[in-house]
Structure 1
Amino acid sequence: MPSAARIAENGHVIASFLTGFDGTRKVFDAYRDKCAQLGRPVPGDDRFAYAALVYTGQTDEEGMAGAEKLMWYVRANKVPFHHVQPPGYTPYFVRAAGLAGERSAYDFNTMTLQDMIDGGIVFAGSADTVRGQIERFYERVGGFGHLLLMGQAGFLEHEETVRGIETFASDVKPELAGLSTAAAGVSRG
């Protein structure tokens, strides 16, 4: 989370990817804490972004089938850790831990799609299911204003990709429009 403080100091938007509920909350809280240390107002949701693997189907079954094809993205990366985390990319102690064999809390090669959904890493299912997953994520991480949708990867065909993104755009996104406003009274602590 050391980069969260630098990002907060500069007032930039911070984004997180593949960090799930707990990791994202830590990153966002580090940003909020730095703003408080600097005497700045509590940052609004517009300063926080989450990139998620998302597949929205007409049914939960269709959404899960599409998301299963997206899993190639997290399971097929065979690049050695020392190339994924080059010097200067992450703090030295994180890189040292990785080179010593310590990894993040998530082992994407052994996690099921359901594990990733339960952890807030993937949003998948019908429009109602995906909306509910995003609303839960919003509450668990203390809010965010930008969802960076990764709806194409792996073995998704072009038509499947378009269908999933269009279903999200027409059936999920409009229902999320008031999320920040509706949750304004929710404690961020």
Structure 2
Amino acid sequence: MTGPSATGPAANGPDIPPSLAARPHDARRGLPIPPVNIHPNPGGGSHVDFTTINTTASTRLAVERRCSLCGEPMGYWVAFLGGPRAAELMRYADPPGHPECMTAALSLCPHLALGRHRRARADRPGAGIIPPGSHGDKPDRYLLGVTRTYRTRFIPEHGFTVYLPAPFTTVRAYLYGPDGRLHPATDTR
């Protein structure tokens, strides 16, 4: 996969919104670091973990109506990204973001962009935590839904927030092609 450099997208790479391109970049992968992937260290400071969402940061950003990927205020439209089941239930474990940032994530995030890319095994350090009720299986498609409003609901017994969007005005589907990469599907509304 072609990834972004520290100053912007690589040749033939995705268009990265300026607010996302302005984020600090991971030195190893060259990817912008979303604020929801920065975690506090017990002894002070912080570390980056792309496999786990910082629930405190994601909840705060969603309540403040800020993009989970770039941290900037969201305007009129917001987007949610997930599998068909999340769209059916209108319940998301991942926080909302700008439609442009979420679209960029489809090609920037290796877990999303590559069909064969899997999450780290749960017994590995930094493998992340799958929210209760999630099966952890990767869907065969991702849906990007755009709406105006949403609600957040923190579930204290599980220690995570669920995001509840209003009905979507636009839904774009993305499927894995024969090349193993995510591509826009034709069944978009």
User: Which TM class, normalised by the smaller chain length?
Assistant: under 0.3
Q: Relative to total residues, which structure has the larger helix share, 1 or 2?
A: 1
Structure ID, larger Rg = 1
Relative CO higher for 1 or 2, CA cutoff 8 Å, sep ≥ 6?
Answer: 1
